[in-house]
Homo-oligomer: A and B are copies of this chain.
Amino acid sequence: MQAQAGTTAAIAAAVFKGRADRAAPPTPARPAAASPFDALEQFGTRRAFRRGQEVYAAGDPADRCYRVLSGGVRAVGLDEEGRRHVAEFFLPGDLFGLEAADARHLSAEAVADTVLVWYPRRAVEAMAERHGALGRRLREVALQGLRRAHETMFLLGRKAAGERVAAFLLEMAERAPADPCRADGARVALPMTRADIADHLGLTIETVSRNMARLCRDGTIAATKRGVEIRDRRALRGFGAGTAKH
């Protein structure tokens, strides 16, 4: 994790100098196991974003899709009254930015210093047309997104504040890139702010803070630099079970 962070920081530093260079051809470090995405790599372009920087805005033409190399991205919806909701977080490895329509319906912003690769939509669709495997993979990405959305909807509609926070931490732990040192005490990075988490969970930052503090006092989690360490997974799963609405 430390090593990884260092590497990606180096990439970021290189790109921040202005060399928005072409992505290297199929990673030399990875031997076999050709991903269906590999065929796309020749069309990929790297770009770095600073913390808080906008990747695209709602209404923009949806002529690209992206993959996260390092950092993180939030998909944000705003309404006319200024209310904000974070629909999703995208972490390293995630593909995002595919749309059915021609325009973005959400905006995307970097939650931390972030490096992305983007692919032209035309190229992606042309490749999908020809390589059935890629088309199938893209469909799977969309359907997995839908499945995750359904879980989030359940969370927003039916779970109490404490459960939401606990579920969020567990989800982040699940999705985090495989951790080298996971002796049941799993470190989870939380690159996003409390406000982002609150807007994702349909809460306020105070409520998120309070519940995190309680989990710390209970010894279920421990606060780290910019994240948490899960000490008791079982307790985390059962947290707030009694305070449910139904």
* Chain A contact residues, CB within 8 Å of chain B: 75, 77, 79, 81-85, 87, 98-101, 105-106, 125, 128-130, 132, 135-136, 138-140, 142-147, 149-150, 152-154, 156-159, 199-202, 241, 244-246
Contact = CB atoms under 8 A, between A and B. Distances in A.
Interface-centre pick from A101, A135, A153, A199 (highest chain B CB count, 10 A): A153
A45 to B, nearest CB: 23
A136 B142 contact: no
A100 B156 contact: no
Contacts of A201: 157
Contacts of A139: 98, 100, 128, 135, 138-139, 142
Contacts of A125: 136
Contacts of A75: 150
16 contacts: A81-B244, A83-B246, A98-B139, A100-B144, A105-B147, A125-B136, A128-B132, A128-B139, A129-B135, A130-B132, A135-B139, A139-B142, A142-B142, A142-B143, A146-B146, A156-B157
